[in-house]
């Protein structure tokens, strides 16, 4: 079943003075099945972030539609969009975006508190997630007291705790060292195996090699895609880097 459908998405930025138009997305069409783990790759300026912002309903497309379980996200009213985002989407950011003023636990609770859930309910949801992510012992610490990897795991917990239909991850490994990166990618794979749909935007070939499918964006269009199938992470890594080389050198894809 298709969880997310993106049809003919187009985004044109107009500079504030004069009619200088920049086309960030020219025509993006793809879909994500339920339970899939998709990575979107592309160079800087290829339109990745614009795409993610539109998917996250933080930005509006110029034209095109986004269907989440058949519901058009673009047409949701401004007043409902915040609640929609909170209930259906989970976010993981490159720079964690944890609030310094809250302990990790309170950071994780934040979306639930905003949705007015009871404290017992929150605790009930937190325990299994914290155990799975290995942050049970540091829940009462504050972001400035823990490592980058731990911060990112707390951010993942915050994204998971609302039981979202889709997790959107924006360069989740961008600020992590290699060990923490491995740990996080393994986590993502595990979560995905349990049925969580993940859409990740990344620069990193390594991160993308863990995904079930990799979409390549170039000049505002989906340029190419790779299915992982049953091959190992290492083989996938090689395939991705070959593709990237081809894209970068402008050659024809021979596949």
- Is residue 140 near other proteins by the rule CB under 8 A? no
Contacts of 251 (CB under 8 A, 6+ apart): none
Q: Which residues in the 25-64 window bind other proteins by CB under 8 A? A: 58
Q: Nearest CA to 210 among 245, 236, 179?
A: 236
Distance CA 194, CA 49 (A): 27
Least Å distance, CB 207 to other proteins, is 21
Residue with token string 């195996």: 193
C-beta of 97 vs 225, nearer to other proteins: 97
- Is residue 119 near other proteins by the rule CB under 8 A? yes
User: Sheet containing 21-33: which strands, arranged edge to edge?
Assistant: 71-72, 63-68, 2-14, 21-33, 221-227, 213-218, 37-41, 197-202, 166-170, 89-92
Contacts of 36 (CB under 8 A, 6+ apart): 3, 197, 198, 212, 213
Using CB under 8 A, pick the residue from 111, 149, 172, 220 that binds other proteins.
111
Total residues at interface with other proteins (CB under 8 A): 27
Using CB under 8 A, pick the residue from 22, 113, 248, 253 that binds other proteins.
113
Q: Which residues in the 68-97 window bind other proteins by CB under 8 A? A: 79, 82-83, 85-86, 91, 93, 97
Least Å distance, CB 10 to other proteins, is 24
Residues engaged in binding other proteins (CB under 8 A):
58, 79, 82-83, 85-86, 91, 93, 97-102, 106, 109-111, 113-114, 116, 118-119, 122, 142, 144, 158
């Amino acid at each position: 079943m298709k969880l997310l459908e993106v049809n003919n998405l187009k985004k044109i930025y107009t500079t504030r003075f004069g009619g200088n138009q920049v086309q960030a997305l020219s025509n993006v069409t793809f879909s994500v099945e339920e339970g899939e783990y998709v990575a979107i790759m592309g160079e800087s300026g290829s339109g990745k972030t614009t795409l993610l912002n539109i998917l996250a309903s933080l930005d509006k497309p110029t034209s095109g539609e986004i269907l989440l379980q058949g519901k058009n996200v673009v047409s949701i009213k401004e007043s409902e969009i915040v609640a929609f985002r909170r209930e259906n989407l989970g976010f993981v950011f490159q720079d964690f975006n944890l609030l310094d003023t809250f302990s990790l636990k309170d950071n994780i609770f934040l979306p639930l508190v905003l949705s007015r859930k009871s404290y017992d309910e929150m605790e009930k949801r937190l325990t299994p997630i914290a155990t799975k992510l290995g942050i049970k012992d540091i829940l009462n610490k504050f972001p400035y007291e823990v490592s980058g990897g731990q911060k990112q795991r707390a951010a993942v917990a915050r994204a998971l705790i609302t039981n979202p239909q889709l997790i959107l991850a924006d360069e989740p490994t961008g600020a992590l060292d290699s060990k923490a990166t491995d740990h996080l990618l393994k986590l993502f794979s595990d979560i995905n195996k349990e049925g969580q749909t993940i859409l990740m935007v990344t620069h990193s070939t390594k991160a993308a090699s863990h995904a079930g499918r990799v979409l390549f964006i170039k000049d505002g269009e989906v340029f190419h895609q790779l299915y992982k199938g049953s091959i190992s992470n290492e083989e996938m890594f090689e395939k991705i880097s070959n593709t990237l080389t081809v894209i970068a050198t402008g050659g024809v894809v021979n596949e």
